[in-house]
Structure 1
Amino acid sequence: MAFCFRFGVLFLLSLRTASTLDVPTGVLQMECRERYFMIAVGLSFAGDKPRFEAVDSTGVHAITEEYAAECGYTISLLPVLGHVELRASYFSCHTNDADDEVFTFNFNLIVTRGGKQATYALNKTCTLSLPWSPREVTCEVNYMEVSVRSEATCPYEENGDSAFKPVLYSDWKVMFQRAEDQFLPMNLSEARKLGYVFALTDERLVFRTPYEQPHSFSTEVNGVPVEVVHAVLFSRQSWVVLVVDLLAACSMHNGSYDGGYMMWETSELLHSLVSPLNETEVSIGVNGKLVEKKVAEERGYTVEKINTTLQVSIPYKAEGGYRKSFVSRDLYEYYVFRLYLEQISVDEAEIAARLRFHRIIVTPLLPCHIFTENQTLLRERAFTIYLGGVPEDVVLVSIQLNGQEFTLPLSNMSTYNLTEVLHPNGTHGYTLTVLFDDPVVKLQFSRKALALQHILNVNYTLAVQPGNEPYYHQTAVTALTRVSPPAFDANCSESSIHFKLDHRPFDYFWEIAIGSDVLTSDLANRRGYIMSNDSQSLQLDVPLFTNGYKYQNVTLKGFSGTFEILVRVRETSEVQTSTVKTCLFSPPEFIMCSTDGMMTVVANLPLVVSSGGRTLRMSLMDNSCGPKDMNGTRALFSFPVNSCGFIFELGKDYVTYQNEIFYNKNYQNMVSNDVTERVIVQCTYPLSSLRQLFTMYRFVSDTVGVGKIIRTVQPTAGLQHPSRKPTAGLQSTPAIARHAQPIAFVPGVRPSTRYFRVSRVHNLAGG
């Protein structure tokens, strides 16, 4: 037995069809195929439950599911394709058949939209495009149909000239056989009530039956499930008994999935009653159309013969199939193929049989891999996230950014943006861009990396179409950007240094400190700083001689004052950076009280110059302590506070050291006889307790002292013994020290120890 295996479409005769006028726009297709007529109607036009009716000279016949299987109609609702489809056999019940070559169809399409029903008349005439084979079997989705040529040669006539042409008289009966059993004969009207249809056309005898009828049976042929219906028609006409053996056998294989291929199987010989084959040709296609061998190879379709089993393989993503997304917690996809297979067999008697299969094979649910890709470039200071692998029937409807919902299309295109990206394979994607500075982005300081971490959690809401079935995809992206600690701008004035800091969103990761103290409004008030802080900037004005200054290069011409502001990590108080500003100051007169107990004074003493221009000798209370430098009327003194004949006053919280600048008595006759001027200088330091005055070995203060220059006016004769009647004074800080329970100044009195420590007290005005 020869086996001929081929792909392709048989060369068709020209197809002549009669056009139908006024076809509704919702009717997508009305096509004549080789053995059936097809109508496709869009679901958007047809509504939820479209219906069809067959129309002929006897009236209108509703095509229900049961009636369709009996009368040669197949109605398929195909949401994957977006349409409903009607296939009608050329031998269907209400088709006008002219010589088995011209077939006229008349249908009513009934749709319901908006609660209103509309009926559309659809009709078309199809002309046979391919001659009938002696025996043809159609294995449709819902029925089996077999037709044979009604003029056949009697097998027992040697010359083959004798022939008969059976006619379905009322005395025709049918007997169904199943394996070795046979049922009682019944007339054709009884068989019709059971769903069996027998019809005699001009040249064909047609038998049609739905699947799973009482007289059908299932079997296996080489592992392939097969459903068989064996009907024997017989009639006694005169002295001749006419017998017609009608056999319909169809593979019921549901298809399988293996390694990315959809598999479907049938047998070369579906029943033992079929004569051994001489030759078999197989053609394959989808959606009711066979394809040429070259096209099939390009798409990856294969048919392989294994013993007597024909195995069809189709790549699950091959052209001609349809995919659909499906949500079941995760997102899945499945592929649907409407397989169309034609098998032409020639037996030993050279009689050809044509077998056609219409089968729907579906893959199992396959994971659909939607992914996100972080395409962020730090130099652009924006997150760029690509959502890819989105199937064509899935759309993005909204996104959540750190819990904040945004519907599409996005409105704020200045700080975030979303664009769709299309791909040739049918998938698409979305590119989301969000600036680092967008308020929706979370910020977190990374102490370990000393960087600012930008955090964006994204929740995509997608919807499978049609139906808007939601699916959620989440991702989170972070980016580290090196950030510098806050930096102040600093400027000098005549009597202060001015600092300014423009706020940034992430500045709260740091704290501002002066020395070991955090800069607060309370600290600024206690130390005499002038501070303002709003949402835009922090401004700090630091007057000269307030706590925190360091002085260098003190001369009669002036000095340099340095003030430092520290920036520390808030969590650890670790110093990250500082702003140091040094300014040159030239006040005409000043006093400094350092933390190591040095008093430095520049005083303006115009009376020390005689009318003749001669400068008088001057000193402190200890006449051995003279000025370090003089220039005209200005003199510079620098000495330890507890030296040069000092006196001191002890209070509850303070100690004050005092000295005096006055002139040597040997020069009194050179000074005006009326009055003269003496200058008292003081440095006041806070105490923690009196005991510490005498337990430490050297003078140490946590803060600078508060200095004063006090001028006194009295008769010249009193220069040797200055009295304390101040008329004017200069102090080194705006915050004047307040002394509790003062002890009178004791001239020349010194403590028994040479050195002592002054501890810092925090609640002092100006301290």
Structure 2
Amino acid sequence: MPSMNVSQARKRGYTFDSRDGRLLFRTPYGQPDSLSTEVEDVPVEAVYATVFSRQNWVVLMVDLLAACSMYEGYFDDGGYMMWKTPEALYPSVGGTQIRIGLNGDAMEQLIAEKRGYIVEKHKGTVHIGIPYNAEGGHRKSFVIGSLYEFYAFDLSVEQISVDRDYVDTMLQFRRTLVTPLLPCTVFTRNQTVLEEQMFTIYLGDVPEDVMLVSIQLNERDFTLPFTNTSTYKVTEVLHPNGTHGYTLKVLFHDPVVKQKFFIEDAVLQFMLDINYTLAVLPGNDSYYRLASIVALFTDVSPPAFDAVCSESGIRFKLNRQPFDYLWELTIGLDVLTSDLADRRGYIMSSDSQSLQLDVPLATHGYKYQDVTLKGFSGTFEILVRVRETSEVQTSTVKTCLFNPKEFIMCSTDGMMTVVANLPPVVSGGGRTLRMSLMDNSCGPKDMNGTRALFSFPVNSCGFIFELGKDYVTYQNEIFYNKNDQNMDLVSSDATERVIVQCTYPLSSLHQLFTMYRFVSDTVGVGKIIRTVQPTAGLQRPTRKPTAALQSTPRHTQPVVFVPGVRPSARYFRVSRVHNLAGG
């Protein structure tokens, strides 16, 4: 090649300079005098120059060779931008040193390797790996149907060789390496712990230039940040690699969560469909990430009561479980609430751990059977229904034997059943006085000492009909036969009158003035009323009651008396009643 002076070289784009005892040669890529070749399959652009320097009669010639790798690089699965360059162009004492870095800040090889770079020599080439999150690198997110990103690195490489005269030669070049568009790996991870009774979902690997702006939960939209009163919570999580994430928490029992109970399999399912809306900054392009999370609870059983008997009633106790809210407790068709308990005379106490229900004898809901002088059996049932369908899934039934001294029952079909504890009117010979109702042909079904069992239709045996504003009362009386001269009464001055009553709401009766058929939607309120009067003669009641025994109103089964108040009424003495309705 013909020689040229420095000024001519500069006009052609070459730079030659001498500073601090060093000679500098620099050339742009693509010069006419450069050469493109390959070294171990690495494309290289090389330029060769000779610098002449003359001082007096001494001419110094310096050969300069620059061979720069044109390798485009590639992004591997391990998160590295890989690049190759020829290993050495000059003979070197002790080998060629390599310094690498980004944006012109080159580091010694050992320091770079500690920071995650890869520097390896292989078949005459040097392989350099730049970690994707290297300090000084650049990344950018894009939405092109889905979310993508690319990384850009301004790589600086220095190769230093020392010849036998200990003169060092440095080959320095810079390359901008860009990864292809890479799918952005935003993911969701279900971190839900069933015992916590809440969904915990993590949205991770969100690029630093992408922000979460809103969330859709089961098709309901929520803009971030949530209000202070919200039951939902989103927490941002920062990571050292420049990415960040978001943790979403939603309670299982929040109304937004869908739930389904599979009765046959005893499986409870909670479902949450999530649509994350992410915005790529600065343009605010939207990207959506969907997730469907399901939490399953197996062996979910309905509430189960323990029940014990007492002299005064039955006690039910329930230890609460997390999913008791799936069911509702009912007495018949009525849902058990504190208001219902107050109206019916139950005693209910409830907290987060347990529920206790004391059901006194004679309150609503009892069924009575096997009534004798020795007592009767009382059965009370609490139903457990599926809340969504009201289907009865299970129940707790408790039957107890009760033996009160006396009681009265008023059934829906109009039967009055009474066990009365009468005065000790027993003769010296052990014979009991003859007893009957107001109709002396109606006697007791059974007797034992001073106790007698009567069972008869309320509208029979010479009953008295008492009609009030809202109630109708059927009344009768237990009489003793005191004309038997062989009987030796305990008291000759006074005796007790025993009046028995059944009171029904008028609204519950299907037919009122009939003696052939009695139908009521509810049971009646029973009373045993005792009064004191002179023993001489049998007379109709003339004195007000001195004591009253009454059962609780609004019953659906026969009840046993408890203390109460007698309702006001007008009296009708009925010996025979005709069916005015003709039925």
Q: What amino acid maps onto 2:502 in structure 1?
A: C
* Distance apart, 1:704 and its partner CA: 1.8
2:499 to 675, 680, 683: 680
Name the structure 2 match of 1:403.
232
Conserved in 2, the CA contact under 8 Å of 1:339 and 1:361?
A: no
Q: CA deviation at 1:743?
A: 3.2
Residue 662, structure 1, aligned to residue 475, structure 2: no
Whether contact under 8 Å (2:438, 2:463) holds in the other structure is yes
Are residues 1:328 and 2:141 paired? Answer: yes
Partner of 2:294: 478
Q: Kindly indicate whether the alpha-carbon contact (under 8 Å) linking 1:623 and 1:664 is maintained by their aligned counterparts in 2.
A: no
Moved more, 498-507 or 253-262: 253-262
Deviations 1:714-738 (A, max 9, x none): 344432x533534434434255476
SS in 2 for 1:328: strand
Q: Which residue identity lines up with residue 711 of structure 1 in the other structure?
A: R
Q: State the one-letter code of the partner of 1:479.
A: A
CA distance in 1, matches of 2:479, 2:55: 163
Q: Structure 1 residues 516, 688: CA separation in 2 closer, same or farther (over 3 Å shift)?
A: same
Structure 1 residue 457: Cα displacement: 9.3
The one-letter amino acid paired with 1:701 is S
SS at match of 1:744: strand
Which of 541, 566, 571 is the aligned partner of 1:723?
541
How far apart are the structure 1 equivalents of 2:129 and 2:430?
118
2:308 is equivalent to residue 491 of structure 1: yes
| Cα distance change of structure 1 residues 617 and 362 upon mapping to structure 2, 3 Å threshold | same
Separation in structure 2 between the aligned mates of residue 437 and residue 444 of structure 1, nearest angstrom: 11
Pairing 1:349-748 to 2, within 5 Å after superposition: 361-367=177-183, 369=185, 371-374=187-190, 403-405=232-234, 445-448=259-262, 451-453=267-269, 477-481=293-297, 482-504=299-321, 506-534=323-351, 537-664=354-481, 666-667=483-484, 670=487, 671=489, 673-688=492-507, 692-693=511-512, 698-719=517-538, 721-734=539-552, 736=564, 739=567, 742-748=569-575
CA distance in 1, matches of 2:514, 2:493: 48
Measured after TM superposition, the shift of residue 587 of structure 1 is: 1.3
**Which structure 1 residue ranges, 5 or more long, are not aligned?**
1-154, 156-172, 176-184, 268-282, 291-297, 304-309, 343-353, 410-419, 421-425, 461-470, 757-767
Instruction: Indicate the residue corresponding to 1:31 in structure 2.
Output: none
Mark the CA change 1:403 to 1:605 in structure 2 (over 3 Å): closer, same or farther: closer
Q: Contact 1:497–1:543 (CA<8 Å) still a contact in 2?
A: yes
Structure 1 CA distance for aligned equivalents of residues 343 and 19 of structure 2: 116
CA positional deviation for 1:621? 2.5
> Would the aligned equivalents of 1:531 and 1:538 in 2 still touch at CA under 8 Å?
yes
The code of the aligned residue for 1:197 comes to: F
Distance 1:500 1:638, change over 3 A: same
Shift of 1:683: 0.8
Compute the displacement of 1:572 (Å). 2.9
Change (3 A) 1:696 1:193: farther
* One-letter identity of the residue aligned with 2:549: Q
| 1:117 alignment partner in structure 2 | none
Alpha-carbon distance in structure 2 between the residues aligned to 1:587 and 1:492: 14
Moved more, 492-501 or 448-457: 448-457
CA distance in 2 between counterparts of 1:266 and 1:747 reads 123
Q: Distance in 2 between matches of 1:501 and 1:238?
A: 114
Q: Is the 8 A contact 1:628 1:637 kept in 2?
A: yes
The one-letter code matched in structure 2 to 1:745 is F
Distance in 2 between the 1:552 and 1:726 partners?
33
Aligned residues, how many? 501
Q: Secondary structure at the match of 1:745?
A: strand
Whether the 8 Å CA contact 2:306–2:316 is kept in 1: the answer is yes
The DSSP-based 3-state class of the residue aligned with 2:537 is helix
How far is 1:266 from its partner? Answer: 8.9
The offset of 1:636, in angstroms, is 1.2
Please tell me whether the aligned partners of residues 66 and 171 of structure 2 are also in contact (alpha carbons under 8 angstroms): no
On the 8 A contact 2:261/2:269 being kept in 1, the answer is no
Instruction: Give the Cα separation in 2 of the matches to 1:201 and 1:514.
Output: 103
Aligned residues of 1:218 and 1:225 also touching (Cα < 8 A): no
Q: Secondary structure at the match of 2:546?
A: strand
Establish whether residue 749 from structure 1 lines up as the match of residue 576 from structure 2.
Answer: yes
Q: Deviations over 1:458-502 (max 9, x none)?
A: 999xxxxxxxxxx99996643222433333343333223233445
Give the alignment of 1:97-108 within 5 angstroms. none
Q: Is the 8 A contact 1:547 1:703 kept in 2?
A: no
Question: What CA distance in whole angstroms lies between the structure 2 residues aligned with 1:331 and 1:728?
Answer: 94
**Identical-pair percentage:** 56
Q: Which amino acid is the alignment partner of residue 342 of structure 2?
A: N
- Deviation of the 1:382 alpha carbon: 7.9
Point out the structure with max Rg over C-alpha: 1
- Contact persistence 2:271–2:293 (CA under 8 A): yes
TM-score (norm 1): 0.51
Equivalent residues of 2:513, 2:577 under 8 A apart: no
Distance 1:651 1:212 in 2: 116
Could you tell me how far apart the structure 1 residues matched to 2:380 and 2:582 are? Answer: 28
Does the 8 Å CA contact 2:375/2:403 hold for their aligned counterparts? yes
Q: Deviations over 1:429-449 (max 9, x none)?
A: 99x999x99999997652455
Find the aligned partners of 2:309 and 2:535 in 1 and give their Cα distance.
42
1:13-24 paired onto structure 2 within 5 Å: none
Identify which range, 690-699 or 230-239, moves more after superposition: 230-239
**Alignment partner, residue 83 of structure 1:** none
Q: One-letter code of the match for 1:322? A: P
The one-letter code of the counterpart of 1:367 is P
CA contact (8 A) 1:340 1:358 kept: yes
Give the structure-2-normalised TM-score.
0.64
Is the alpha carbon distance of 1:749 and 1:254 closer, same or farther for their aligned partners in structure 2, counting shifts above 3 Å? Answer: same
- Give the CA deviation at 1:633: 0.7
C-alpha distance in structure 2 between counterparts of 1:607 and 1:389, whole Å: 89
Cα distance in 2, alignment partners of residues 635 and 537 from structure 1? 43
RMSD, aligned α-carbons: 6.0
Gap change, CA 1:367 and 1:527, over 3 Å in 2: same
Q: Structure 1's 607 and 207: CA in aligned 2 closer, same or farther, altered over 3 A?
A: closer
Superposed displacement of residue 682, structure 1: 0.9
The Cα of 1:548 is off from its aligned counterpart by 1.0
Shift of 1:517: 1.5
CA distance in 2, matches of 1:236, 1:336: 43
Take 2:16 and 2:406, find their aligned partners in 1: how far apart are those partners?
Answer: 127
Contact 2:465 2:475 in 1 (8 A): yes
Contact map agreement 1:557 1:586 (CA 8 A) in 2 = yes
For 1:513, what is the secondary structure of its paired residue?
strand
User: Aligned partners of 1:746, 1:665: CA distance in 2, in Å?
Assistant: 23
